[in-house]
Amino acid sequence: MDFSVFSDIASKLKHLPLPGIAAQGKMTHPLRYQQMIRENPDQYSPKHAAVLALFYPDQNNHTHLLLIKRAVDGQTHSGQIAFPGGRRELCDPDHLSTALREAREEVGIQPELIREITPLTPLYIPPSNHLVYPFMGLYPHNQFVKDAREVEELIPWSTETFIEFPKYTEHVVTTDTGIKLSFPAFDAHGQT
């Protein structure tokens, strides 16, 4: 999708109601979805984090979403595919500041150049006890600099592969207790 067309669509999104947990539930295991509906994550005193779903044009002005593969460091989300972002620090006045700071640190963006920033529905992540606040933004450049301590790989993901022609795959995860769970996932260049 052409970046100018996508930008026009994105400018209208912030005025629409968010689909929330119902949309998140489509991409999780049915038991996890039931838990999402029943439980308030505040009961777990979660740590707060924020991420940035950053859309940008490639050299042909086609829209891409920037994903990262986290560096393997032994942490809970080590080696996982993610949006740039991380834990809220005391220096962050709000969740958006966290998302922008972390994206600057991890992939070298210039936060002041991001347009059409739209907050999305927060998501509780049980394995690390984080309540994640996602934001969507548009970035005019396609040059990024990864911090090798935090990011193993930058993954440009064309909107054609997940918006225009979405392909789902099944992904199996083994929990800390040894239970295998299967849930839908997107395939981003062989990464899920």
Domain at 153, CATH number: 3.90.79.10
Supply the DSSP string of the chain, one letter for each residue.
Answer: -BHHHHHHHHHHHTTSPP-THHHHHTTS-HHHHHHHHH--GGGG-PEEEEEEEEEEE-TTSBEEEEEEEE--SSSTTTT-EE-SEEE--TT-SSHHHHHHHHHHHHH---GGG-EEEEE---EEEGGGTEEEEEEEEE-S-------TTTEEEEEEEEHIIIIIS--EEEEEEE-TTS-EEEEEEE-BTTB-
One-letter amino acid of 92:
D
Tell me if 170 is assigned to some domain. Answer: no
Confidence of residue 166 (pLDDT cuts 50, 70, 90): low
Chain segment 112-145, per-residue pLDDT in tens: 999 989 999 999 988 889 999 999 999 999 999 9
Tell me if 172 is assigned to some domain. Answer: no
Number of domains in the chain: 1
Tell me if 87 is assigned to some domain. Answer: yes
Domain ranges, residue 59: 3-165
Tell me if 183 is assigned to some domain. Answer: no
Chain segment 87-103, per-residue pLDDT in tens: 999 999 999 999 999 99
Residue with tokens 């005019």: 140
* pLDDT beyond 90 at 75: no
Tell me if 115 is assigned to some domain. Answer: yes
